[in-house]
């Protein structure tokens, strides 16, 4: 298979053409008479569950975009920004590639750090100062 048979995501991840389903619909907006005659907007459908991307990437994709998935596990991307079908098709595929690229790399593990002695001291001094300011806000007595 050539590069034209895939949607390139990263060096290791490519979505084969046969996993994508496209439907062309009429778009609203500018385009003159063309907008009434030609279906230029694209609905790109891709099933995450049956895709060939690695399992950890699928899991991260489901976690991040789960609210956008259909009951069948499809992601539906609509592109209608351009006046031509080809450009909208390309835009939808780029958007899909960006979404996958966003979850392709696993998130970094957080390394716990211990606060420095100076930062602890600064925190406690500011807490004491705030406490002192608040203590001054007490009720005023009429003792003369």
Rounded to two decimals, what is the model's pTM? 0.68
Are the C-beta atoms of residues 49 and 58 closer than 8 Å to each other? Answer: yes
Within-domain flag for 139: no
Counted domains in the chain:
1
Are the C-beta atoms of residues 78 and 43 closer than 8 Å to each other? Answer: yes
Q: Tokens in use for 2?
A: 């050539």
Within-domain flag for 118: no
Within-domain flag for 11: yes
d(CA 47, CA 61): 11
Q: Tokens in use for 85?
A: 């079908």
Within-domain flag for 140: no
Within-domain flag for 113: no
Within-domain flag for 133: no
**Domain harbouring 79, CATH code:** 3.30.160.20
* Residue found by looking up tokens 């351009």 in the block: 82
- Any idea what DSSP says for residue 81? S
Within-domain flag for 134: no
Structural domain that includes position 54: 3-104
pLDDT tens digits for range 52-105 = 888 888 888 888 888 888 888 888 888 888 888 888 888 998 998 898 888 888
Within-domain flag for 125: no
pLDDT tens digits for range 97-135 = 898 888 888 889 999 999 999 999 999 999 999 999 998
Nearest of 65, 19, 63 to residue 44 by alpha carbon: 19
């Amino acid at each position: 298979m050539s590069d034209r048979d895939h949607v390139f995501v990263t060096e290791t991840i490519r979505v084969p053409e046969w996993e994508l389903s496209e439907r062309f619909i009429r778009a609203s907006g500018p385009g003159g008479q063309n907008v009434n005659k030609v279906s230029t907007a694209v609905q790109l459908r891709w099933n995450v569950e049956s895709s060939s991307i690695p399992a950890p990437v699928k899991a991260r994709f489901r976690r991040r975009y789960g609210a956008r998935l259909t009951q069948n596990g499809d992601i539906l991307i609509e592109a209608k920004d351009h006046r031509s079908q080809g450009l909208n098709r390309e835009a939808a595929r780029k958007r899909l590639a960006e979404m996958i690229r966003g979850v392709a790399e696993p998130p970094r593990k957080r390394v716990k750090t211990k606060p420095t002695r100076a930062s602890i001291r600064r925190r406690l001094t500011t807490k004491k100062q705030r406490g002192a300011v608040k203590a001054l806000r007490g009720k005023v007595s009429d003792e003369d």
